[in-house]
Amino acid sequence: MEYIQKHSQCQFKGIPNDKKHRAAIVLLLPYLVTPEYGVRLRGRGSRKLHGSGSSIALEFAETFAIYIDKHDLPTLQEATTERLLGKKR
């Protein structure tokens, strides 16, 4: 498994598609999907039979890639302060 961090995104690549790793992903997803973060799960592997241009259906994937994105949305307090001060985004 490879971990890569870019500006507001983290990537976990090369997660095997087996029962143990799928169970771990299912356990982690509720904690990763929050108002501050979003998660994208993509299938990776050979595209000869089941592929498309960007990813493979998860049930046919050889490995998974997980992308965790930080949303650049202001918090409720920041948005309220901006509204009170008359600032526009």
Q: How many CB atoms lie within 10 A of CB 28?
A: 13
Q: What is the pTM of this model?
A: 0.66
Closest by CA to 9, choosing from 72, 55, 78, 80, is 72
Per residue in 14-57, pLDDT tens? 999 999 999 998 888 888 888 888 888 888 887 777 766 677 88
Q: What whole-number distance in Å separates Cα of residue 64 and Cα of residue 42?
A: 6
Per residue in 68-87, pLDDT tens? 888 765 555 555 555 555 55
Ranges of beta strands (E only) in the chain are 2-6, 9-16, 37-44, 63-70
Say if residues 82 and 89 touch (Cβ distance below 8 Å): yes
